[in-house]
């Protein structure tokens, strides 16, 4: 289903044309029928025998109701530009045309109405003026069809022309998350709240739970109608009435959007490509108060250009700050008017929310970034990739090392989350993106590898310069990669899972690295932690050794930490042993227990030849590492296998 829109000056015959095409009067308000003037949006279905169908949005022509016209304008795919043959183009002909030009309406038909009122010459003149009016807009090559709703002349050929265009229109992003700007809200006796709007993208099914945004209310879809007919499902481009009985009418206003729950987060700062209306260029300021028409909402805000305002109608990077939050998706078209008077300034295509890291980039920088994204995916074969894989990859590549959740990626790629998840799994499997844990998020493969190269260089430099040291701290890794420490830690864990780094005692090192002491350090520790020939199992005081090492130099203190981490020294409480002491003690203990099956503390102390003060903690250490086992007053070996280890 597709959406056709009317546009044109007041009284040029838009509503009459809709009646002639569909048999439905779009002017539903009594006031409209009494005054013969459209005040608010009207809707009518257009169905063809071959199943092609469309909804026509009839807009008011009077300039006082432009805000209503704007609420319905987003989402139009085919424009019927209505021009009275007896009057020719008038101000709102141009204004509507410009607005729809900005909204990127793809196709148009120029409809010259009331031809029964003019002679052939006047008709030809009106046709010429109409052609002039659409020059340099999307409608410049549109067919022009002359009609009269009084005599019926031209109506059938107009219907045929509409049919051919509809048949050729592409489908509307069913893979995207549902987004329906609400343009009417009312209660129906026995049913409760109904909201209507054009489903801009995605699919809505009865039974779905959606969100009204920016209010955040959950809305359960009880049933759906498209032009009065109940349907189980509506897809992008449909004019839909959605029954959401769990929400009160008073809780919803025009301007809310009914959207998929997880993919949309209301935001107030938008990054956009702005297109100025050429006649409004002199009004533009670097920062100016504006009214923004986004979906069906009209929100005051500020338009900001990075540098000077644009000097022509070509795309210009800008930010839009809204006074109230709104939901949007990349590619959504918005209209920007001056705060007061409300002149049309231009239109804009939303790129996304302004994110913390991306300060406003100028056009040159964004062009470079776009080119980089193209290059990154140029060599990938997406032919067997799930829907949205290319979009998700662009999003992840664009955010580089800032991890993004699946929900965020879905939102920025404008792909429904369940599809985005399948796309991410595919990209992971093909090595195009990388996941980091806690929480589970994704980063770009290129950025991840580049970050590793920096961390690896810092690590190897440390190994070369301070070979006695175990490695680098997360904060040193963070400095090397230039990211915050918590992120550095997540990256380090991911590299460890890849086998590219290892960690010992909180210090990160190359997997093949073992610390080695300088000759001077070795001599220092040989002297400090000497083993006495008489008392081979006597430990040293850890505190005393640590203080002596620290007093000597920081390097020496680091070397002590390394000796402990690699197990060359073993710390038991305050007692410091060499590994050889521990190993010999284990042998001696194993021998004495093996002989008798068990040993008392006194017997073990005698074997060790030390006092109870040292023997007791050491035996508790052996218990704790699973070497021995306490059995009342006795010690046994836990198992022969472990005794050997
Ligand atoms: N003679 C003649 N009159 C027409 C024709 N089409 C519309 N009219 C008359 O023109 C007047 C305006 O028609 P509408 O269809 O209400 O015009 P509109 O463009 O919808 O007006 P707004 O919604 O107020 O902008 C009405 O009195 C119609 O009867 C036509 O083809 N021939
Ligand atoms: Mg009308």
Tens of pLDDT, residue by residue over 245-274, are 999 999 887 689 999 998 898 999 999 999
Is the pLDDT at 569 greater than 60, yes or no? yes
- Quote the CA–CA distance of 360 and 635 in Å, as a whole number: 71
pLDDT at 360: 42
Structure tokens at 171: 């489908």
Expressed in angstroms and rounded, the spacing between residue 298 Cα and the centre of ligand 2 is 22
Q: What is the rounded average pLDDT of the residues 130-158?
A: 94
Is the pLDDT at 156 greater than 90, yes or no? yes
Is the pLDDT at 541 greater than 50, yes or no? yes
- Quote the CA–CA distance of 544 and 205 in Å, as a whole number: 74
- Quote the CA–CA distance of 391 and 333 in Å, as a whole number: 19
pLDDT at 211: 96
pLDDT at 644: 44
- For 68: left if phi > 0, alpha if psi spans -120 to 50, otherwise beta; the answer is alpha
Structure tokens at 441: 């998020």
pLDDT at 359: 40
Expressed in angstroms and rounded, the spacing between residue 11 Cα and the centre of ligand 2 is 7
pLDDT at 540: 86
Is the pLDDT at 376 greater than 80, yes or no? no
Question: Candidates 8, 11, 31, 44: which one to mutate for ligand 1, based on the most atoms within 8 Å of Cβ?
Answer: 11
User: What is the per-residue pLDDT across 43-67, written as a single tens digit (0 to 9) for each?
Assistant: 888 988 887 888 898 999 888 888 8
Task: Specify the ligand 1 atom closest to the Cα of 59.
Answer: 23
- Of 110, 109, 157, the closest CA to residue 130 belongs to 110
Kindly report the protein residue whose alpha carbon is nearest to atom 29 of ligand 1: 16
Is the pLDDT at 642 greater than 60, yes or no? no
Structure tokens at 174: 């069913």
Residue 214 CB less than 6 A away from ligand 1: no
Is the pLDDT at 485 greater than 60, yes or no? yes
Task: Specify the ligand 1 atom closest to the Cα of 8.
Answer: 19
Question: Candidates 15, 92, 118: which one to mutate for ligand 1, based on the most atoms within 8 Å of Cβ?
Answer: 15
Tell me the pLDDT band of 641, cut-offs 50, 70 and 90.
very low
User: What is the per-residue pLDDT across 189-229, written as a single tens digit (0 to 9) for each?
Assistant: 889 999 998 898 999 999 999 999 999 999 999 999 987 88
Pairing between β-strand 316-326 and β-strand 267-276 as defined by DSSP bridges: antiparallel
Expressed in angstroms and rounded, the spacing between residue 42 Cα and the centre of ligand 2 is 8
Expressed in angstroms and rounded, the spacing between residue 39 Cα and the centre of ligand 2 is 8
Is the pLDDT at 104 greater than 60, yes or no? yes
pLDDT at 379: 66
pTM (global) more than 0.75:
no
Q: What is the rounded average pLDDT of the residues 162-179?
A: 86
Residue 68 CB less than 6 A away from ligand 1: no
Token pair 């932690």 is at which residue? 529
- Quote the CA–CA distance of 31 and 364 in Å, as a whole number: 53
Peptide bond into 504 cis (omega under 30): no
DSSP state of 404: B
User: What is the per-residue pLDDT across 25-42, written as a single tens digit (0 to 9) for each?
Assistant: 888 888 888 888 888 888
Is the pLDDT at 122 greater than 90, yes or no? yes
Peptide bond into 492 cis (omega under 30): no
User: What is the per-residue pLDDT across 393-432, written as a single tens digit (0 to 9) for each?
Assistant: 988 888 878 899 998 899 888 888 888 888 898 888 888 8
> Percent of the chain at pLDDT above 70?
95
Strand locations in 384-532, DSSP E?
A: 433-436, 441-444, 502-504, 507-509
Closest ligand to residue 21's CA: 1
User: What is the per-residue pLDDT across 343-372, written as a single tens digit (0 to 9) for each?
Assistant: 888 888 898 888 754 444 455 555 565 666
pLDDT at 643: 44
Q: Element (H or E) spanning 457, and its range?
A: helix 445-465
8 Å CB contact between 235 and 174: yes
Size of the chain, expressed as the number of residues it contains: 645
Is the pLDDT at 563 greater than 90, yes or no? no
Kindly report the protein residue whose alpha carbon is nearest to atom 3 of ligand 1: 114
Considering the chain, what is the average pLDDT of its residues?
87
Peptide bond into 176 cis (omega under 30): no
pLDDT at 279: 83
Residue 456 CB less than 6 A away from ligand 1: no
């Amino acid at each position: 289903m597709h959406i056709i829109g009317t546009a044109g000056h007041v009284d040029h015959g838009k509503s009459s044309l809709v009646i002639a095409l569909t048999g439905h009067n779009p002017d539903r308000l009594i006031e409209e029928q009494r005054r013969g003037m459209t005040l608010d949006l009207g809707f009518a279905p257009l169905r063809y025998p071959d199943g092609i169908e469309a909804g026509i949005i009839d807009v008011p022509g009077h300039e006082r109701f432009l805000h209503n016209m704007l609420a319905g304008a987003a989402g139009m795919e085919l424009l019927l530009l209505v021009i009275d043959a007896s009057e020719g183009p008038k101000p709102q002909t141009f204004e509507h045309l410009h607005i729809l030009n900005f909204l990127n309406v793809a196709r148009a038909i120029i409809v010259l109405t009331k031809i029964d009122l003019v002679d052939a010459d006047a008709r030809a003149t009106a046709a010429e003026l109409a052609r002039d009016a659409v020059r340099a807009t999307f409608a410049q090559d549109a067919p022009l069809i002359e009609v009269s709703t009084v005599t019926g002349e031209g109506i059938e050929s107009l219907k045929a022309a509409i049919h051919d265009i509809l048949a050729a229109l592409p489908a509307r992003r069913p893979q995207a998350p549902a987004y329906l700007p609400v343009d009417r809200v009312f209660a129906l006796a026995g049913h409760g709240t109904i909201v209507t709007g054009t489903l801009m993208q995605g699919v809505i099914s009865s039974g779905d739970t959606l969100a009204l945004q920016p209010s955040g209310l959950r809305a359960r879809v009880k049933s759906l109608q498209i032009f009065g007919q109940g349907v189980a499902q509506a897809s992008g481009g449909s004019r839909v009435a959605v029954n959401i009985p769990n929400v009160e009418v008073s809780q919803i206003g025009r301007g809310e959007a009914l959207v998929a729950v997880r993919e949309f987060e209301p935001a107030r700062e938008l990054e956009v490509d702005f297109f100025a209306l050429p006649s409004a260029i002199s009004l533009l300021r670097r920062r100016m108060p504006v009214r923004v028409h986004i979906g069906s909402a009209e929100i005051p805000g500020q338009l900001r250009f990075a540098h000077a305002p644009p000097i022509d109608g070509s795309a210009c990077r800008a930010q839009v700050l809204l006074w109230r939050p709104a939901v949007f998706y990349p590619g959504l078209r918005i209209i920007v008017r001056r705060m007061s008077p409300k002149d049309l300034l231009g239109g804009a295509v939303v790129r996304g929310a302004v994110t913390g890291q991306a300060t406003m980039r100028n056009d040159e920088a964004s062009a470079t970034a776009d080119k980089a994204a193209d290059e990154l995916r140029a060599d990938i074969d997406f032919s067997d990739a799930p829907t949205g894989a290319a979009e998700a990859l662009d999003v992840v590549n664009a955010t580089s090392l800032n991890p993004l959740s699946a929900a965020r990626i879905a939102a920025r790629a404008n792909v429904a989350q369940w599809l985005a998840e399948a796309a991410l799994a595919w990209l992971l499997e093909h090595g195009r993106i990388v996941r980091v844990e806690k929480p589970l998020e994704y980063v770009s493969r290129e950025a991840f590898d580049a970050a590793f190269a920096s961390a690896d260089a810092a690590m190897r430099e440390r190994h070369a310069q301070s070979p006695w040291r175990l490695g680098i701290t997360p904060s040193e890794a963070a400095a090397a990669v230039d990211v915050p420490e918590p992120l550095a830690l997540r990256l380090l864990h991911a590299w460890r899972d890849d086998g590219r780094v290892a960690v010992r005692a909180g210090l990160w090192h190359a997997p093949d690295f073992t610390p080695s002491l300088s000759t001077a350090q070795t001599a220092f520790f040989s002297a400090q932690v000497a083993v006495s020939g008489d008392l081979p199992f006597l430990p040293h005081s850890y505190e005393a050794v640590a203080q002596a090492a620290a007093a000597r130099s920081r390097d020496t203190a680091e070397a002590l930490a390394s000796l402990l981490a690699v197990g060359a020294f073993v710390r038991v409480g305050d007692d410091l042993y060499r590994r050889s002491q521990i190993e010999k003690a284990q042998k001696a203990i194993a021998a004495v227990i093996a002989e008798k099956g068990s040993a008392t503390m006194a017997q073990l102390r005698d074997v060790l030849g030390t006092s109870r003060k040292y023997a007791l903690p050491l035996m508790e250490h052996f218990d704790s590492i699973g070497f021995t086992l306490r059995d009342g007053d006795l010690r046994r070996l836990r198992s022969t296998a472990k005794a050997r280890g």
